[in-house]
Amino acid sequence: MCSKGLVYLVGAGPGDPGLITVKGLACLQKADVVVYDRLVSPALLRQAPQGCEMIDVGKSPKRHTLSQEAINALLVEKAMAGKVVTRLKGGDPFLFGRGGEEAEALAEAGVPFEVVPGVTSAIAAPAYAGIPVTHRDHTSAFAVVTGHEDPTKADSSLDWQKLATGVGTLTFVMGIGNLPKIVAKLIEHGRDPRTPVAIIQQGTEVTQKTVTGTLADIVEKAREADIRPPAVIVVGEVVRLREKLRWFDTKPLFGKRVLVTRSRDQASALSERLRELGAEPLEYPAIDIAPPKDFGPLDEAIAKLAAYDWLIFTSVNGVRAFVARMSDKGAGTSALSGLKITAVGPATAQALAEHGLRADYMPPVYTTEEIAAGLGDVAGQRILLPRAERAPRQLARALRDKGATVDEVAAYRTLAVGASDELKALLTDGQIDIVTFTSSSTVRNLATSLTSHERSQVMSRCLVACIGPVTARTAERLGIRVDVMASEHTIAGLVEAILTAVAERRRNDER
């Protein structure tokens, strides 16, 4: 029999994947098995180790994948097989999450377990709506109440008299289905009908929707706004602070879902900036980075570095691949001391700086065409151009036209990653607002996995943003309309162009 494993009962937080705790994320990243709930963010699930067994035990008001007893038995079974199990639960595992029952089952079976608390939606959703559950000018007490229990049943465990008048702020979770009854009970037991109320649907997510009113009118307002679960109900004077303190749903890209097509290892910088601006980045890489099929030409170039006058890098990937291969061949970056180095833009220059290298030249406009124009007289000079295996040849041709000898060598390959069925469904259903392309290869790879109808019709529903003119021309050749092109051909420039376009559309909609 295998030795017993270990179960982590982890609170995943309320929706925003950034709200999981550091310890909770560490437990997820070392799991052999992840048992997760319906409301856990897909972005969090992608943090699980490659090959980890993923088990969906999600529950909704009308659907239970597994009963609670079956979930308890599953946790015991996997742990008894010697597995490290991370039980990922929305919010906090011990706040209406039935984590206590799961812990009891593990304890009775003699299975070691740890509890990792999580951020509960009862506090986080109001906070993201600009509502503090306590405030010295309004109340020093709050209560978290299950809204799932029918308030009219005879054997209710809730003391409505004390709840209605004895606590400053009430937060009800899982209560939308019972909203009319909750409101009626609070008024019946003495709460002023003029008491402010807020309902926050899908709190902390870019789809968050907040409706405010009073006990007297909130039921009708929630019906008009088509409020659906999951949602948190907040009752109390602190709701009045929302208009002054709201911060999340006023961000410039709030509510926008943005497709990020960069390779997985490069997507983080763009995704992080989009999140800061209130958007939800959806990472579906259209390319993957791989070594060249044949290292021979690259190795030969590294062996004769002293013969070159210029070394030109046209991408971050080129820098990383070239320096990594130099290291593999036992050559340090000091071997580049006699060369002048060009970087196509600030991101590439930063990648050089990370290896202690400085760009001698960077064009004022970040395109390969500008490199050729800006290098001056290169007649008779030898130039090394390490780049992608199937990179465009315009730069090399332009330099040769100026009399230079140019050695183009493959430092890496970009592999096509087509649109998954999941991504196609998101596009078809209109679930993506903005599509970003940061290179011609990201455009080609996504476009070739879509039908001509999907390109022209489905993509037309999105705002399409390209990092520069070369990428934009590729998109247009493939039948994809381009709405936004960055004037500065960097990630920062792309984001700035998106902000300008979104603001312009909003102004037009308001006219």
Compute the mean pLDDT over every residue in the chain, rounded to the nearest whole number: 92
| SS3 call for 210 | strand
Residue 343 or residue 263, greater confidence: 343
Task: Render pLDDT for 479-491 as a digit per residue (tens, 0 to 9).
Answer: 899 999 998 888 9
Residue 341 or residue 150, greater confidence: 341
Mean pLDDT confidence for 270-298: 92
**Residues above pLDDT 70, as percent of the chain:** 98
Note the pLDDT of residue 239: 98
61 pLDDT higher than 70? no
Active site residues: 37, 59, 174
Separation in Å, CA 506 to CA 324, 448, 481: 46, 32, 20
User: CB atoms < 10 A from the CB of 417, how many?
Assistant: 19
Q: Which domains does the chain have, with CATH numbers?
A: 6-119 (3.40.1010.10), 123-245 (3.30.950.10), 257-286+417-510 (3.40.50.10090), 290-416 (3.40.50.10090)
Going by C-alpha positions, the residue among 447, 485, 441 that lies closest to residue 463 is 485
Note the pLDDT of residue 1: 41
Task: Render pLDDT for 202-245 as a digit per residue (tens, 0 to 9).
Answer: 999 989 999 999 999 999 999 999 999 999 999 999 999 999 99
Q: What's this model's pTM, rounded to 2 decimal places?
A: 0.80
Note the pLDDT of residue 450: 85
Task: Render pLDDT for 33-42 as a digit per residue (tens, 0 to 9).
Answer: 999 998 898 8
CA distance 135 to 239: 11
Residue 356 banded pLDDT, cuts 50, 70, 90 = very high
Q: Which two tokens stand for residue 35?
A: 């048992």
Residue 495 banded pLDDT, cuts 50, 70, 90 = very high
Note the pLDDT of residue 64: 56
Mean pLDDT confidence for 163-178: 94
Residues with Cβ within 8 Å of residue 506, at least 6 apart in sequence = none
Residue 293 or residue 266, greater confidence: 293
